[in-house]
Each structure stands twice: as structure tokens, then as C-alpha cells.
């Protein structure tokens, strides 16, 4: 078949093909939903609070679960802090640098306490030893964001120099 005849065949049968595809998708999704529903709710368990059907491995429905399984600071396993990208976060919703959940990086809070002033806008805290969760005041230094970038690039350059030095040195045993 030539390209033109293939295209003509497609145009003539386009509507039929679209309908067949829709029917297949609809019947397939209905079958999949029915299979999942049967598999999840096969034991006929119900929520002890409200009587709604629940999945086989649950004790409560989705709406009643938060009452019985608290999250965050109400949880039994709550540690009081969270970690994000290696930094420790503390819950201080009143802090001006708090995120939308009310958490602030602990190193910012520690620096502000040690220096008795808020961290200026456009400034960041640098961990001198490079360990993100070492928030001792002697390990924290504040600097403008631009200066921090220069410090990081200088560190990267020094690391490259040391690596080259090690590479050129004969190995010692």
C-alpha cells in the first residue's frame, strides 16, 4: 500500500477506530477498577467508628484514621525535629523565615540566638566544617549570598589542587 492509500484508509475509518479505542479503554478501566475493588475490599471489613467499608489491611477508614493515628508532633514516634536535604528543621511557625509548614532551619535559629539579632535579608549561614547538621555556634558563619558563592568556588578550586597533588605524589605504603 502506498502512503496516500494508507492515509485515505485512515480518514475513512477514523471515526470507527476512535470509537473502538474509547470502548476498549472504558471497558478495560471498568474491569481494572472492579478487580481492584474486589481485591481490596474482599474481606468485608468496616471502620469501627463510622461503619464504612475499608481495605483489608486497615483498621479505620480514611476519614477516621487521623483521630487514631496522629501525625507530626502528635505522633508517638515524633522526634521534635525534621531533616531536609541534610539540614535540621525545627518547628517555629512565628519565625519570619519559616516555610509554609512552620519549620525553620536550626542553624539559622542558633546563629540568631548566639548573635542576638535576626539574620539580614540576602544573607545565609555557612557551616565552616561543611557538616550540615553540626549547628554549634562556633561552626556557623553568616555571609552575604554572593560571598558564600565565592567561598564555595574557592573550596572547590583548593580540592582540585589537592587532588592533583595527591595524583602526582608517589604512593606511600
Cell of 165: 597533588
Three-state DSSP state, 149:
helix
pLDDT given at position 104: 92
Contacts of 86 (CB under 8 A, 6+ apart): 132, 133
pLDDT by 10-residue block (mean), the chain, 173 residues:
69 79 76 74 77 78 78 64 84 90 91 94 88 89 85 80 81 57
pLDDT given at position 4: 65
pLDDT given at position 72: 66
pLDDT given at position 172: 57
pLDDT given at position 96: 93
Give the C-alpha separation, 105 to 98, whole Å: 8
- Check: CB of residue 133 under 8 Å from CB of residue 116: no
pLDDT given at position 42: 64
Read off the pTM.
0.49
Give the C-alpha separation, 43 to 57, whole Å: 10
pLDDT given at position 77: 59
Amino acid at each position: 500500500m502506498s502512503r496516500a492509500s494508507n492515509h485515505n484508509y485512515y480518514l475513512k475509518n477514523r471515526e470507527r477506530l476512535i470509537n473502538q479505542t474509547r470502548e476498549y479503554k472504558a471497558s478495560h478501566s471498568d474491569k481494572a477498577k472492579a478487580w481492584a475493588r474486589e481485591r481490596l475490599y474482599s474481606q468485608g471489613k468496616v471502620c469501627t467508628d463510622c461503619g464504612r467499608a475499608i481495605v483489608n489491611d486497615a483498621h479505620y477508614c480514611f476519614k477516621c484514621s487521623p483521630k487514631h493515628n496522629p501525625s507530626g508532633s502528635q505522633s508517638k514516634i515524633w522526634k521534635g525535629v525534621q531533616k531536609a536535604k541534610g539540614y535540621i528543621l525545627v518547628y517555629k511557625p512565628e519565625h519570619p523565615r519559616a516555610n509554609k509548614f512552620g519549620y525553620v532551619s536550626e542553624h539559622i535559629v542558633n546563629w540568631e540566638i548566639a548573635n542576638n539579632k535576626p539574620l539580614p535579608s540576602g544573607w545565609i549561614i555557612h557551616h565552616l566544617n561543611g557538616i550540615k547538621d553540626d549547628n554549634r555556634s562556633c561552626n556557623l558563619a553568616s555571609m552575604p549570598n554572593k560571598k558564600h558563592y565565592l567561598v564555595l568556588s574557592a573550596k572547590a578550586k583548593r580540592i582540585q589542587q589537592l587532588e592533583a597533588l595527591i595524583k602526582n605524589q608517589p604512593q606511600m605504603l
